[in-house]
A and B are shown apart, each in its own frame.
Chain A
Amino acid sequence: MTTATPTFDAPGLADLLDTSSPEALDALDFGVIAFDAETIVQRYNATESQAAGLSPQRVLGEPLFTNVAPCMNNFMVAQRFEDAADQGVELDDTIDYVLTLRMRPVKVKLRLLAAPSGAYRYVLVQRR
């Protein structure tokens, strides 16, 4: 049993996050947004909340790509999740992107995680 904090690029991260406590998610140094098959946000950690300037209660239960992070609603991000789901395949890709956190362009790495069997889908956010 390891207690080391997982890193942004750790392999098999989705399984680990699925079973992490809210406190463990909040302790991570990268942003975590977990959402379900209907794109409804189910988990939202402290790092992401602080970076975006939005408290979790404004975000949880909202559709991710229209009400929380519309900046990702294009073929580079949202479409990737849809395609993976349509084809029933796993998605684990890291891309360079720019988020508009508090209306400032911020360069980030996004890790997109989805598995047909997984509890949640994830967008993980790390500043670069």
Chain B
Amino acid sequence: MDDGIEQLRAEHEALIQFLYLAPVGLVQAGIDGEIAMINPISAQLLMPLSPDGCLSNLFTALEGVAPDLRLQCEQYPRANGMVFEGLHLHLHADERKRAPQILSLDLLKLDARRIMAVIRDITAEVRRERQLRQSDAWLNAILTRISDYALVSLDREGRVCEWNESIARVTGFGEHIVGSPYSMFYPLDAMTPEHLHDRLREAERNGWSLDEGPRLRADGSQFWGSALIAPLPDREAFCLDDPEAPTGYEPSYCLILRDISDKRAATESRRQAAFCDHLTGLANRRAFFEAAELELDRAAHTPRPLALVIFDADLFKHINDRYGHPAGDRVLCDLADALRDSFRIVDTVARLGGEEFAVLLPSTGEEAALAGAERLRALVATRLVATDHGEIAYTVSAGIAVLDARDGEPGGIDGLIKRADQALYLAKRSGRNRAVCWTPNLPANEDTPKRSRDAG
């Protein structure tokens, strides 16, 4: 008898230790998120995120990075099943070494009252995937049967060295383009002078640089193209690192420009799934943080202004409460359309969550960012959204922050977002339907980002 109890005790202890040691986070909670059971890895991953320093509620702990969980769990239509499978949660970029940046969340609805979650740190995994994706894109560009391409030699400043037939075939440009920067193949709002150099530098560092997007022909028409830039192997012979060297048009890079309009549909739909916000089709948090990381990295190497505007639909909760969620969704889509139309191709327009949107503007100072935000704000104020309950008017508020050496380092994208949020909070406080720029004397309240959302 005693042996039986002793054996049970030992088994229980082994089971407890098994759960302590499981290398993934496991949580069982009520449908309202109230945590019933939780293992140590969950605490390791969730404690740094928890806004209240508690682990009583799973949804509260994840509120800062996944504000819609509670709602989406509530709205899950089936009696049981996977609500999310491998949902990527992007944590705020953190300077601390080894801090996780991306978590994966599985959420299983057990029944009407209970859920279970699996949480994993997939930062390293995603980084590897990203590298693979880049290699894929590169191989794709090289190996896909090329119907036609333009081969352009560029000097170390990215200017066209020589003209040839292939340039005329693909783009229609004539010999006069020799000496012009390769940005002439891009629509005006798809390239900045800084990006022109970024791509050369990235080609230098990685061996190649590839981007896809709209390209321009001589007659002003556009096509969907890929541009692969690779440094020429014997470029050292052309005094690459010698600032005194004559900057004639010696070739330093090779640019392969291809018309891939046919392939665009396929590529786009692949990108959509992983990088688009489901409702609005804008960039999602994942795409936004990837773009932000790249731009901050570029700005750190070659200083230039970088602006962030956070837009928030005013009193959105009232719209939802009064007209219902479908009408609210229409408003969000309308705002997304307005944002897409108002900003440049080179800007990243993203939905961060709920009614909060962000636009990242490379090589843009405060004045231009404010003008852009004002333009969008004014545009929205004139629009009406058709819904089942008639036409709805709405407004937006905006907070603007600019990466500027003079204001001190804001602390990565997280710091920049915080500043924009503080400005947004002031815009809300001052009556909404306005755009406000961050200044160093704005109150740096830790709670501001959260309250700015609650301020409607």
A residues neighboring B (CB under 8 Å): 52-55, 58, 67-76, 79, 96-100, 102-105, 107
Contacts and interface: CB of A to CB of B under 8 A. Distances in A.
B12 to A, nearest CB: 8
29 contacts: A52-B16, A53-B13, A55-B13, A58-B13, A69-B40, A70-B21, A70-B44, A71-B40, A71-B42, A71-B43, A71-B44, A74-B44, A74-B99, A76-B47, A79-B96, A97-B53, A98-B43, A98-B54, A99-B40, A100-B40, A100-B42, A100-B43, A100-B55, A103-B38, A103-B39, A105-B35, A105-B43, A105-B54, A105-B55
B48 A74 contact: yes
Given A76-B48, A96-B53, 15 more contacts: A54-B20, A71-B41, A71-B42, A71-B43, A71-B47, A74-B47, A74-B48, A75-B99, A76-B47, A100-B20, A100-B38, A100-B55, A102-B16, A104-B38, A105-B43
Contacts of A98: 43, 47, 50, 53-55
Contacts of B53: 96-98
A100 B38 CA distance: 6
Contacts of A107: 54
Contacts of A52: 16, 20
- 3 smallest beta-carbon distances between A and B, as pairs: A71-B40, A71-B43, A105-B55
B75 interface: no
A71 B21 CA distance: 10
Contacts of A99: 40, 43
Interface string B117-134: 000000000000000000
Contacts of A67: 21
B385 interface: no
B387 interface: no
B274 interface: no
Contacts of B56: 105
Residue picked from A67, A71, A99, most chain B C-beta under 10 Å = A71
B24 to A, nearest CB: 11
Interface string B79-96: 000000000000000001
Contacts of A76: 47-48
A102 B37 CA distance: 8
A83 to B, nearest CB: 10
A113 B20 CA distance: 24
Interface string B1-34: 0000000000011001101110100000000000
A5 B16 CA distance: 31
B38 A58 contact: no
Which of B12, B40, B99 has the most CB atoms of chain A within a 10 A radius of its CB? B40
A105 B53 CA distance: 12
Contacts of B41: 70-71
A53 B99 CA distance: 29
Contact of A70 (B20, B37, B98): B20
A70 B13 contact: no
B96 A75 contact: yes
A58 B17 CA distance: 9
A28 B56 CA distance: 28
Nearest to B12: A53
A13 B405 CA distance: 46
A58 B18 CA distance: 11
A105 B27 CA distance: 10
Given A70-B40, A76-B48, A100-B43, A54 B16 contact: yes
Contact of B44 (A54, A73, A103, A105): A73
A98 B48 CA distance: 11
Contacts of A103: 16, 19, 37-39
B11 to A, nearest CB: 12
A107 B53 CA distance: 9
A100 to B, nearest CB: 5
Contacts of A79: 96, 98
Contacts of B16: 52-54, 102-103
A103 B35 CA distance: 10
A43 to B, nearest CB: 19
Nearest to B22: A70
Nearest to B53: A96
A53 B19 CA distance: 12
Contacts of B21: 67, 70
A70 B44 CA distance: 7
Nearest to B57: A105
A93 to B, nearest CB: 15
A53 B48 CA distance: 25
A104 B12 CA distance: 15
A50 B295 CA distance: 51
A52 B53 CA distance: 21
Contacts of A73: 44
Contacts of B37: 103-104
Residue with the greatest number of chain B CB neighbours at <10 A, chosen from A96, A98, A107:
A98
Given A98-B54, A104-B38, A105-B35, A54 B17 contact: yes
